[in-house]
Structure 1
Amino acid sequence: MNLSYWERKSWISNTDFTIVGSGIVGLNCALELRARYPKAKILVLEKGILPQGASTKNAGFACFGSISEILADLRTHSEEELAALVLDRWNGIQSLRKLLGDKAIGYEQNGGHELFLKQDAKSYQHCMENIGKANELLAPIFKETVFKVSENSFGFNGIQRQYISHTLEGQIDTGKMMLSLVGLAQKSNIQVLNSITVEDFVENGQGVSVKTNLFEFNTKKLLIATNGFANSLLEENVLPARAQIIITAPIKNLSIEGTFHLQEGYYYFRNIDNRILLGGGRNLDFKAEETTQFGNTPLVLNKLEELLRTVILPYTPFEIAQQWSGIMGVGSQKKPIVRQIGANTACGIRLGGMGIAIGTTTGRQLAHIFQEV
């Protein structure tokens, strides 16, 4: 790209901070940097026309972990580690709400419910027997008993008679949230350039030399917030994980309200604008979904439609209006990676499918990696 003198001078010269990725983490990092350094030149580079990974493509769950997820995580995390993860999610949601306001993000606290299919009787029994243990572990965080047994009030089919509900879970409008974040960044004099792919970077002693698909430039500090796409630039313990989603056309008199989880969170659905949004199915073929390629597969789409037809809307005609996918970042641990990786380079990645819950605080932590500029 043949940049003019004016373009180079105004947009990419004398840059103090460059952030790669304009999702939840990247924009929150930029906003926190602006609060710390009111006069700094802050640039955000985004490879997509819109945030490319999961920030504008997620299901909009303000969740902290269903009971089966909590109990499953105890197999790979200590109680202290798990409690710290849930506390981060809780604090992250509160930080997001405080930053943008509930109206701006369409926040509703309708509760979250875990459903158990008839064939999942063993998991259902295990979770029922451990409600007390989960509540005791999380009581210092939520200050109340959050996991409760509730009846199948929405008439789902083919499931165990009762749900295990999390009373404090909520839902947001993902589009409204990201529009609000972008708007706040613009008001804060943060430059966001879209359709720019960072291909490589080299520390040069004075800062970082950054090569993109269109131009090269220097920045004092480089902060990478590309989550599932991180391994194109870094060697970290993070893998891409594609999430496929479908949404119905509006359904008249839809009474379903709240967020819902199935099979340790591998399936999830909610109401939005008189529609049902349903996603998941990565567990059907983990290797195939370990990709940075967007798209939908017959294997997953057929399973999602089957769940709609047989479990969620068994007596209600529906049409699939749209389908899409997003790319998450996952790893062997669910704790995000926020660390300095060079003298002038740092990363905030591996959100583990909890970007809405921890994206705000992860971005802020990333902004505090460097104590001085």
Structure 2
Amino acid sequence: MLSFWEKRSFIKYDLVIIGAGIVGLSTAIQFKKDNPQASVLVLEKGVFPSGASTRNAGFACFGSLTEIIDDLKSLPVQEVKELVEKRHRGLRAIRSIFGDQALGYQENGGLELISSKEEKYLERIEYINTLLFPVFDDDVFEVENQHEKYGFSAKVKAVVRNKFEGELDSGKFLNVLWETCQVFKIKILTGAYVKEIDQENKTVTVKDPSHDSFISFEALKIAVCTNAFTSQLLKGIDLQPGRGMVMVSSPLVKTIPWKGAFHYDMGYVYFRNIENRLLIGGGRNQDFDTEKTLDQGINPKLKTYLLDLVHEVILPGQKVEIEQEWSGVMAFGPNKKPVIKLVSEDVGVAVRLGGMGVAIGWQTASELVKMLQRQ
């Protein structure tokens, strides 16, 4: 039951966005920037974003060598190039708009550990560099000389460097998005569990936990930015959830002899140095079926796999104690291309970011805003 004041002031909007992660907030900001007089509401079921926007590893990356080569198996060459360009453009955009300091951005490069099973991919570096040269105006990948300096075990046969990637602080990224939303007077309601979208009447119905009742918000346009959770609201979107776990160690006794955004095992494992702590995550490829879930949690099989890599490959001989662990839920499909489209008049979706939300989120939102504004 709404009050007279609530019904008059809080129910009708020009744009209602579902999902307050990177894509949802980026959509709100860009729409409001283009339409200063528009009223914009963002609905989020969690206190913090429910997916992976604040539960990722903070990698500002667009794809390791082996990931890009693997993408060529499911996408045409031109589409792979365009996808990498979109990710790179997205990273440049957020750095330009918000600034490296606000994002906690570190330009330490991206690096990939190559084991014996991936050595064959080294032969394709020249081809991938040629493919991406028009995007970067430079070679992207190069094999490091004397990779032994990193202190990895003998299982690492080579290290490939990419100077165009970096790392950021995922909490700072969301903070700057929140602060920008405040500047633009965008409303964000958390604890707003969306039960239904009526595409014809342009309403979004939310469960009000305080009064055990429902509230229907009215909108001229609706944007669904719920990534892995989209199937709970819309049918016909080809995506599957993919959970990713992350762990952070206590500060190490010895100084970690490297910095950068590191990848291993075809990009399924990622790790970095944060204040002389080891952050490591991933391993989803060790148990795909179990990780196709919307539930947060830690898979013991994956944890064991990652800890074995820490002790046997990444920091052999060092004592590493895990201080914190968590997981976030991403969305994947038959290829890495995000789904950005109108599902009906004035109702759009921007989802299925393939684990690249940090890089591609801003650009994905930009495309969705353009689609909604053309209506």
Matched with 1:100 is: 98
Q: Of residues 138, 146, 152 in structure 2, which corresponds to 1:144?
A: 138
**1:299-348 Cα shifts (integer Å, max 9, x gaps):** 11111111111111112212101010001011012111111101121100
Q: Of residues 14, 32, 40 in structure 2, which corresponds to 1:42?
A: 40
1:348 equivalent in alignment to 2:347: no
Contact preservation (8 Å) 1:152, 1:163: no
Pairwise CA RMSD:
1.3
Matched with 1:76 is: 74
Structure 1 residue matching 2:290: 3-state secondary structure: coil
Shift of 1:31: 0.5
Shift of 1:251: 1.8
Q: Measured at CA, do residues 8 and 322 of structure 1 come closer, stay the same or move farther in structure 2, by a change above 3 Å?
A: farther
Q: Of residues 167, 191, 207 in structure 2, which corresponds to 1:213?
A: 207
Kindly tell me the number of residue pairs found equivalent between the two proteins.
365
TM-score, normalisation: structure 2: 0.94
1:224 equivalent in alignment to 2:224: yes
Shift of 1:10: 3.0
Matched with 1:277 is: 279
Q: Which amino acid aligns with 2:317?
A: Y
Counterparts of residues 1-373 of structure 1 (less than 5 Å): 2-11=1-10, 13-117=11-115, 121-124=116-119, 126-150=120-144, 151-204=147-200, 207-214=201-208, 215-234=215-234, 235-252=236-253, 253-371=255-373
Q: Which amino acid aligns with 2:9?
A: S
For 1:142 and 1:264, the matched residues in 2 are separated by 22
Structure 2 unmatched ranges of 5 or more: 209-214
For 1:140 and 1:353, the matched residues in 2 are separated by 25
Q: Which amino acid aligns with 1:223?
A: A
Q: Which amino acid aligns with 1:4?
A: S
Q: Which amino acid aligns with 1:288?
A: T
For 1:364 and 1:39, the matched residues in 2 are separated by 18
For 1:372 and 1:164, the matched residues in 2 are separated by 43
For 2:8 and 2:267, the matched residues in 1 are separated by 48
Structure 2 residue matching 1:153: 3-state secondary structure: helix
Contact preservation (8 Å) 2:151, 2:257: no
For 1:3 and 1:312, the matched residues in 2 are separated by 57
For 1:17 and 1:158, the matched residues in 2 are separated by 55
For 1:275 and 1:9, the matched residues in 2 are separated by 51
Shift of 1:226: 0.5
Shift of 1:187: 1.3
Q: Which amino acid aligns with 2:125?
A: I
Shift of 1:202: 1.1
Structure 1 residue matching 2:354: 3-state secondary structure: coil
Shift of 1:372: 5.4
Q: Which amino acid aligns with 2:183?
A: K
For 1:22 and 1:162, the matched residues in 2 are separated by 40
Contact preservation (8 Å) 1:158, 1:310: no
